Amino acid sequence: MLTNAPRGTKDILPDTVNAWTYVESRIRDICDRYGYHEIRTPIFEHTELFQRGIGDGTDVVDKEMYTFTDRGDRSLTLRPENTASAVRAYLQNKLYADGGLQKLFYIGSMFRYDRPQAGRMREFHQFGVEAIGEASPAVDAEVILLAYDLLKSFGLDGLTLKLNSVGCPSCRPVYRERLQAYFKEHLTSLCGDCQSRYTVRPMRILDCKADAEKPFMAGAPAITDCLCEECSSHFEAVQDHLRAAGVSYELDSRLVRGLDYYTRTAFEIAYPPLGAQSAVAGGGRYDGLVEELGGNPTPAVGFAAGLERVLLALEQQDLLPVQAPAADVFLIALGEAAAAAAFPLLHDLRQGGVRTLMDYAGRSMKAQMKQANKSGARYAVILGEDELAKHEAVVRDMAESTQETCSLDDIVKRLISEVKS
């Protein structure tokens, strides 16, 4: 049916936009305090960017991407995540030329073909940050704290921060061998996807939802037992910074994230009352991605948060702000002459910063008063033939149920003063 939006997408209507802008304003405020600057990347990119950045064989690349061929016979993909796009922009626009740490954030739509459910849509919205150009574990901690502080600032209590290290290309092969040795005897008990992952990406087995509760999963070896000295020291330093900041966390050896580019630190912040979709933010370090996409070896770390899940959590806990009234003043004009006289008042009030509405359909007094009430306006200005003849209008205080007359020469200045006070 052409009047329905595609499955997995959703209109954000005027009565809910207020909640989105509230969340987005908080995001911009905290990013400003942490020194992160907004970047806006294209909604579609060359498909190869995600194949190389996210990794062939991942669920995102193999099963979830919206890929199409354009009229120039080029393969393009709606972005399924934004880290690869941010790194591409970093390289293409030579953001590295200034040297040092580039601190970026973004807010935007992402697209994945998945089964729609609460907090997970096919078009979904993410906020994320990317800190590119610094290997210090203090930057890992800063990124984690930014995500945690943002969620806490909304009033969400009971957040859980899970932390792990996924090692580096030096120590990960050791862990890979241990995993394969462990899962070899359980291979026939794994789901079909994990049986395929066993050979090429055994760490991905730990992230599988289908096998998560099977008894043998609890005995899988922990990657932290296989970390090289550098990765181990880095991970300890990240934890030291978090403890110094007074943030509690729990170590989770099965936290590996779902994308190939992660190295060393991996983290996830969950809000348990959301149930199965409790993860609201997650990320980690990706020191090899810039080089994979054609740049020089460059350390980087970041995270993304799903805005639908954040909004769902805020709605459940009644933490969203009450929607502001649509207007401060509603002009009620009775008759054509009154409507003509009211229109310049409408413009002057708006020019003065007052949110002002009026009826254009020539409805009755009763109908227009109903509109004024619905708009939430504090003041209704009534202008009819009698008032027009006296060059005045009735100003009704809707909250106090009082009214008085005012000269048309003074009414704009008075209302601007009343509203602003």
Q: In the prediction, which pLDDT does 10 show? A: 92
Report how far residue 201's alpha carbon sits from residue 82's, in angstroms, rounded to the nearest whole number: 23
| Element (DSSP H or E) covering residue 90 | helix 83-92
Give 102-125 pLDDT, tens digit per residue.
999 999 999 999 888 877 899 999
Tokens of 420: 């602003």
φ, ψ for residue 125 (rounded to 5)?
Answer: -120, 135
Tokens of 200: 């090429």
What is the set of domains in the chain, with CATH numbers? 14-171+227-316 (3.30.930.10), 329-416 (3.40.50.800)
- Straight-line distance from the first to the last Cα atom of the chain, in angstroms, rounded to the nearest whole number: 50
Q: In the prediction, which pLDDT does 260 show? A: 63
Q: Residue 51 gets which letter from DSSP?
A: I
Give 333-385 pLDDT, tens digit per residue.
999 999 999 999 999 999 999 999 999 999 999 999 999 999 999 999 999 99
Q: How many CA atoms lie less than 13 Å away from 420 in the CB half-sphere? A: 11
Chain-centroid distance, C-alpha 217 = 32
Q: Residue 239 gets which letter from DSSP?
A: H
Q: Tell me the average pLDDT across 317-343.
A: 93
The DSSP string of 292-339 is HTTS----EEEEEEEHHHHHHHHHHTT-SPPPPPS-SEEEEE-SHHHH
Give 274-313 pLDDT, tens digit per residue.
887 789 999 999 999 999 999 999 999 999 999 999 999 9
> pTM (2 decimals)?
0.89
Q: Which amino acid is at 357?
A: L
Q: What is the dihedral of CA 90, 96, 97, 102, to 10 degrees?
A: 100
pLDDT tops 60 at residue 1: no
CB 80 within 8 A of CB 111: yes
Least confident of 87-91, 141-145, 323-327, 365-369: 323-327
